[in-house]
Every structure is written in C-alpha cells, then in structure tokens.
Structure 1
Amino acid sequence: MVAQWKTDGISALWPEINGPFLSLRGIPEHLMPVTETQELYKDLLLGFDAITSCEMKELYKFKLFLNRMHQRSNLPPELLLIHKAFIAWVNFEYERARTLFTQHLKAYPSDIITIFFVHMLDFCTGKTPRLTAEFSFCEPHIPHTHALYSYYLAIKSFVLCEDQCFQEALELGLEAVRLIPHNIYGIHATAHALHEMGRWQELSSFLIDCKPDWIENSGMRMHVYWHMAIAHERCNEVEQALQAFEELYELKDSPFAKQDLDAVGFLWRLRLKATDSKFNAIWERLALLWTGSVSGSTSYFHKIHAALAFSATSQTLLIEKQIAESDGFGIEPEAHRAGLDVLKGILLFTLKRYHESLALLRTSRDQWPLLGGSRAQREVLDLTLEYIELKTRPIVEERAPA
C-alpha cells in the first residue's frame, strides 16, 4: 500500500475527494479539507474543472489562484510539476503544459487524477486520442484494486473511442460501469462507443436502464440526455426524441447558464431534415443567449455552435462579427485556421451560397478534430456538409423518349 501511494502523486493527498471529483457531480460539502494541503488540492480541482469550459474569465480567475499558489514556499513535491503545468495551460502554452503533466506521470505513474488532467487538456485542444501513449506507460503501475480503477477504464474507453477503436472502447466502458454503476464517465464513454458503432436501439436501452445512475448528475446529465435524444431520433422514434430533448433542456442550471451546446447540436440535426417552424422560438432564445459569449471562449467548437444558432435565426451579421473578432488568441494556429474556415462556411451556407460554402468546408474537413468536442458532436458538421452536397448536386432532368 505504501508503494502504491508513492506512485499515486496528488491522488494520495486526499483520497476521499478523488471519487466524488471524478464522478463530476461537484465536491460534496461534507468533505471538508483537514489540512492546508488538502484545502489547496480542493481549490486546484475546482479551478481545473472551471477552465475546461474554455472560458477566458475562468482561465484568468484560475491564473490568479495559481499566482497566489506560486508565492507559497512549502508546496508538496506532488504539486510542483502540476502547478507549473497549470500555469502553462492558463498562459495558453498547451504543449509545455502537456510536457509538464507527463513528466509528473513519469514520477507518479498511477496518478489517475493527473491522467484526467492530461485527458481534458487533450480534449480541449482537439487532440483526445493522443493520450494512448501515456496509457502504455502508466497502465502497468495501476492495479485492478486501485480505488480509481473504474475511472481510469472510463477515461481510456473514451480516448480509444475517439481513436476509432470502438469495440475495445465499448468493452472498457461497460467494465467501468460494472465496477462502479454511477461512474458517469463510464456511462458517457459507453454511450459514445455505441453511438459510433451505430447501435442506436442498444444505446437507447442502455441509457434508459441506467438512468437512475446518471439523471442526478448535474455535470453530465444534459449531455447524456443528448445521447438519448440522438438514439431515439436515429431509431425514427420521433416523439421519444423530442421528449428527451425537452427534458434535457429543462435541466439547465439557470436560464442563463452556458449549457446550450447540445441543444443547438440536436436541433440543428432536425433543421437539416426539415424547415419546421416548431422550434423557431427556441432558436431565437438560443441565439440571444449566445450573443454575449461569442468572444469569451478559446474553443472554436463553442463559437461554431453559436454560429449555427445565428444561422438558424438568419442573423448573418452576428456570424460576420464572430469572424471579425476571431483573432486566434489562446488558440493553436491550425485550429484557428480551420475554425475560421468553418465559421465562413456557415456564413456562406446561411446566405445560400452553397458552392462557396462547400469548398471551404471540404478544405478544412481534415482539421475538424482540432476544433474540439467529440467525434459524435462533430457529426453536426458532417451532416451540414452532406446537406450542402445535396444542394449543389446537379439536377438531372428526365427526358421523355423521342
């Protein structure tokens, strides 16, 4: 046990908090830090959780905390590289941040919390499959009896799914859920694997069966509901799909909470199938809510969903404003170029200049993973591209026989 704690790194600083943190429910109030180090660890986890939103404000707030942390002269050795890695992250030095995290893992290879840090950094920068290299190094040091082993399997399942190893991802996700049924990230990873494999009825049944284990999870339940709505829609169960959407939209923490990404993604799928005015009021609301935050994110994936809401409400000026204000600050160059092309493609699509939109989207297609999000979420761009291809396909007139 002593040897295991030595390799666990920051996970060993306060074991009681690790499970609730990786359950993504928020840290329970009854878990109060006992030592100064535990209090520091808790604030670090809360700050990390906030910056994964890619919001500039959250990055700056966490930077202020890290600066105060830097002034301490007695940081535990387990936190030294972690602290430097997060400073690099909030300074938009993503490669340096990743290098520092992986250096920490060389010293503490069974530190599953830090594996999660690297995973979320990769996810936010559009490089999710990259973590497979760290798995090969860390896994021999993580016993099946590790308290966080189920969560490790869940992280690995999602990464492998994004690397298109769908069957292995499914098996790992199911095993994670078997070990800890309320492991929300295991449920989430399993849903993604079934989605990628097109096993829609199985996905729907899985999420319905384990609903008691995810419906109370404030951090992930809206996204899991999105998976359920998609599964029903792909099974042509229209009423169930719309009901799932209504239920997910009612779960927002507040009317102004920034939780509209999945709502836009689902409604855009329906919009590409039919110009139904049933959701016009919701589209107007979504577009209005996005207007205040189009420049406050380092994620093009968020910017693109805002642009889709503006497109659905024919507000081309707002898309033009997005393009004008997107200068690439805090975003890696390749992702910036691809993101700009997609925004311009959505603008041209809204203006019904389909051939020009098609050219831009096709050109940037290979770079879409850098925009962030998951493969399942980025399907909204593939579906848009398919729609435009149909719009630009030459019409072949049927001629009567001579």
Structure 2
Amino acid sequence: MSNSEHASRADGCCRLWPDVNTHFLSLKGLPPDAVPRTAAQQVLHPLLVGFDAIAGCELKEFYRFKMYLQRLPEAPVACPELIQVVAAFRCWVDFDYSGARALFIAHLQEYPGDVLTVFFVHMLDFCTGKTCDLVDVFEICDSSVDATHPLSSFYLGIKSFVLCERVEFEQARVLGLQAVAQRPDNIYAIHGVVHALHEQQQWAALCEFLEGCKDNWAFNPGMRMHIYWHLAIAYLMSSQYELSTATFREFYALKDFRYAKQDLDAVGFLWRLKLQNLEDRQFDELWQDLSILWSGSIGTSTSHFHNMHAAFAFAAADRPLLIDKLIAESDGFGIEPATQQVGVDVLNAIAFFARGAYAECYQILAASQSVWLRLGGSRAQRELLMKTMNMAQKMMPSHQPRVRLVNAL
C-alpha cells in the first residue's frame, strides 16, 4: 500500500464522502444535493442524520435512530470503516454510553485521521458530561491530523473547545485562532475562541472578534443562535444593556418556527438577566411562553443539562409545580447514575429558589458544585448555577451558615 493510500485509509469515515465532510462539520447539516451514490454512503447518510438528532438528547430521536440501526445487517456494507462506528451508535441508542465510547475509540485507533468520528466522540462526551476526557482521543489522533489534513481546522476547533473546558484558556484561544485562520467559516473554531475569551472575561475582545467575523457565523443554521448568545452576554458584561437585549431579540427571532426546540440559549440569557434584578418584569410574557414550550420536555429528555434550563424557565414564570413534575418524571432512564443524582439535586435547588427558599437552594448547590460538570454543556453555560447560588446566598437570612465554595463548573 502506498503512503497516499495508507493516509486515505487512516482517515476512516472521512474518506467515504469527502464532499459532505466540511459541510457537516461546519454544522450546516447535510447538503440538500447530497445523494448517496455508493453502498457506504447509503449507510453513512442516515448515520449522520441520526447522530445529529440524538445529540439533542430527546428520547423520541433515540428510538427513531434505533429503528434505522435495527434494520441494518451486522456488517452493513463491505466497508471496514463503518463496522465499529455503526456498532458504537447501536450502543449509544441503547444508552450504553461507555460501550459506545469504547467502540469509537477502537475505531480511531485503527483510523486515527477520522475527524468525523472524533466529532462523534466529542458530542457523546458533551452530552454525558465528559467533555474533558477527549484528551485521550487527541493522544491517538494528533500525529495523523497535521496541518496538511483536509479537516485540520475542524479538528483544531474541537480541540480548542475541549482545552477551554479543561481550564487551559490561553492554549484554547491560540488553537481556535489557528483553526479560524485555516478556515474562516469554521463556526466551531469561532466557538472555541469565544469560549476562551468568555472564560478570560475579555468582553471587549470577544465583542470585537465576533463583530469582525459576523458574516462567517451569523448565517450558520446549526450554531448562529448560540454564538449570538455569547455576543449578547459579552455586551451585558460590558454594561451595554440596550445592545445586549437587542442582540438577544435578534437571535431569538432566528428560531426555525415557534415550537422549534431552540430555546436553551434564550433561557441561558434571560435567567442571567433576571438574576441581575429579580423584580424586572420586562420579559415576563416571554417567560410564560418559554415555560409552555419547555413543558413538552418533561419526561422526554436524557439530559439534566436540558432539564436544568427547563426548570429555570418554570421558575422565572412562577410555575414551581412544573419543576416538581419535572423532578417526578426524572427517573434516571437513559441517564448515568452519577449524573442522575447531581441532576435531581440541581432541579430541587431550582425548585427551592422558585419558592423563595434561598437557604435550601444555596445549601444544595454548594454541596453539589464540584460535580456540576457531569450535567454536560459548557463551563459558560453552567455559570447559571453559580450565579443562582450566589443570588440565593445574597437573599438568605443573614444568620444562615455559609458553606465554603469550590471553584468548579
């Protein structure tokens, strides 16, 4: 086998449909003209669609994807690059997350240049609160994904975000900027830079960066709302209140349709805003709408990170009974035991906050702070819990004991 042939084989799934890779890893979904022409592509196409769906952690999407996977034979095609990937997805939809991850890792050990599969593992880690663990994948893949690799920018973008979650903020920023320099429209690399700047509290630099490259992210269907969320927060933290709320209204208007499940960033911004002034009623009507929209997720999500946002919406709408129902329906199905415990603790804390029982809220959040990362999401998104805990502490009667805090998100 020649060196070029070996390199192609080492790229695994990435070599099966090169025209789709950059579009998909740019978080634009699948190109509308992406028609499978080979047996491998006929399997890969629904794999990508199914993966994209289950990353939302909705039970219905798990079962929809599982039905497709059940129809595949054990060896789906005469294509070795797909065998372990399909097996990994079968574990994932069976909620065997560790089994899925082990199969993805085994695949990458054989195909260390497969950036597409690196992204699969990364999103599995993100959903299960293990984002930082991806460093073991980098140890496998670094030597095979150098600057000449066609998907190098996307690999660096993923790496940037993971390093940021590992509190290596400056290195994350540098890698993210390298990735953006290679491919300016790589929104996940832009995302990595923004998270690093957020963690470094460089709000002016964050605004300048996003304003300077807006054409490269503001039209991306997969992530534009989230990047707008970062910009709105940066304006808020820069005391540019009017610009911040205007940016929020701009990104919330980008929902695909009214009932689209795209309300997480709206809650993430508005709850921050509410904690600055609990008496502010400017968005009360929207909070009522959000509480209705989030009520459909009760009992349907495998993510306590999503449940946390639902609970904040219920709290802001003064509907603590919906938080109680959310807790009652959170029986741990599809959720790892350690995550289930911290998730229910957090939901209980938010329920106490909604009822004005601030001491109880504070005590629960302070006790669980060191394991919040199990919920998934990012440090920047989990800041909602820190800010809620700080507000609960502020609202507590002065005689309540204070718990020594650990700086962990």
Matches within 5 A, 1:185-200: 185-200=188-203
Q: In structure 2, what is the Cα distance between the partners aligned to 1:230 and 1:18?
A: 31
| Structure 2 counterpart SS, 1:278 | coil
Matched, 1:352 2:356: yes
Residue number in structure 2 paired with 1:285: 289
Give the distance between the partners of 1:23 and 1:375, measured in 2 at CA.
22
User: Is 1:184 matched with 2:184?
Assistant: no
Q: Does 1:104 align with 2:112?
A: no
- The amino acid across from 1:141 in the alignment is S
- 2:308–2:346 Cα contact (<8 Å) kept: yes
Which of 368, 385, 390 is the matching residue for 1:381? 385
- The separation in 1 between residues aligned to 2:71 and 2:212, in whole angstroms, is 46
Q: Which of the residues 80, 84, 87 maps onto 1:81?
A: 84
**What is the rounded CA distance, in whole Å, between the counterparts of 2:370 and 2:397 in structure 1?**
22
Matching residue's letter, 1:337: Q
Q: CA RMSD in A?
A: 1.2
Q: What does residue 147 of structure 2 align with?
A: 144
Query: How far apart are 1:31 and its partner, in Å?
Result: 2.7
Instruction: After TM superposition, give the deviation of residue 395 of structure 1 in Å.
Output: 7.5
**TM-superposition CA deviations, 1:182-236 (whole Å, max 9, x none):** 0010111111010011000000111111110011101100000000000000000
Summarize deviations over 1:151-181 as a string: whole Å, max 9, x none.
Answer: 0000000000001100000000001111000
1:322 alignment partner, one of 301, 304, 326? 326
C-alpha change, 1:386 and 1:13, in structure 2 (3 Å) is same
Q: 1:228 touches 1:244 (CA, 8 Å); kept in 2?
A: yes
Structure 1 unaligned spans of 5+: 397-402
Task: Give me the whole-angstrom Cα distance separating, in 2, the residues matched to 1:234 and 1:355.
Answer: 27
Contact 2:76 2:83 in 1 (8 A): no
1:90 partner amino acid:
V
Q: 1:61 to 1:75 in 2, by over 3 A?
A: farther
Which position in structure 2 is the counterpart of 1:231? Answer: 234
Q: Secondary structure at the match of 2:209?
A: helix
Residues in 1 aligned to 2:169 and 2:326: alpha-carbon distance in whole angstroms: 36
Indicate the SS of the match to 1:192: helix
AA matched with 1:330: G
CA distance in 2, matches of 1:120, 1:7: 21
Q: Which residue of 2 aligns with 1:124?
A: 127
Q: How does 1:191-210 map to 2 (within 5 A)?
A: 191-210=194-213
**Shift of residue 357 of structure 1?**
1.4
Of the structure 1 ranges 71-80 and 278-287, higher mean CA displacement relative to structure 2 is found in: 71-80
> For the residues of structure 2 that align with 1:385 and 1:103, how far apart are their CA atoms?
41
Quick check: 1:162 aligned with 2:197?
no
Question: Quick check: 1:394 aligned with 2:398?
Answer: yes
Bigger mean CA offset, 346-355 vs 244-253: 346-355
Give the deviation of 1:132 after TM superposition. 0.6
Alignment partners' CA distance in 2, 1:16 and 1:218: 19
Contact 1:229–1:245 (8 Å) recurs in 2:
yes
Whether the 8 Å contact between 2:127 and 2:303 is mirrored in structure 1 is yes
Match of 1:335 in 2: 339
- Which amino acid in the other structure matches residue 328 of structure 1? G
Question: What is the CA deviation profile of residues 263-287 of structure 1, one whole-angstrom value per residue up to 9, with x for unaligned ones?
Answer: 0010001111112111011100100
Are 2:204 and 1:214 equivalent residues in the alignment? no
Residue 53 of structure 1 aligns to a residue in which SS? coil
CA contact (8 A) 2:298 2:325 kept: no
Once the two structures are TM-superposed, the CA of residue 394 in structure 1 deviates from its matched residue by: 1.5
SS in structure 2 at match of 1:246:
helix
- State whether residues 298 and 330 of structure 1, in contact with CA within 8 Å, keep that contact through their aligned partners in structure 2: yes
Bigger shift: 125-134 or 70-79?
Answer: 70-79
State the percentage of identical aligned residues: 49
- Structure 2 unmatched ranges of 5 or more: 401-409
Q: TM-score, normalised by structure 1?
A: 0.97
Q: How many angstroms does 1:313 deviate by? A: 1.2
Moved more, 221-230 or 360-369: 360-369
Q: Give the number of equivalent residue pairs.
A: 396
Deviation at 1:114, TM superposition (A): 0.5
In structure 1, C-alpha distance between the alignment counterparts of 2:235 and 2:399, rounded to whole Å: 33
1:55 aligns with 2:58: yes
What is the CA distance between 1:388 and its match in structure 2?
Answer: 0.8
Checking the alignment, whether the CA contact within 8 Å between 1:334 and 1:367 is kept in structure 2 is no
- 1:249 deviates by 0.4
State the 1:36 CA deviation. Answer: 2.2
Instruction: Pick the aligned partner of 2:10 from 4, 7, 11.
Output: 7
**SS class of match (1:228):** helix
SS of residue paired to 2:153: helix
- Could you say if the C-alpha distance between residues 8 and 341 of structure 1 is closer, same or farther in structure 2, counting changes exceeding 3 Å? same
Give the letter for the 1:209 counterpart: G
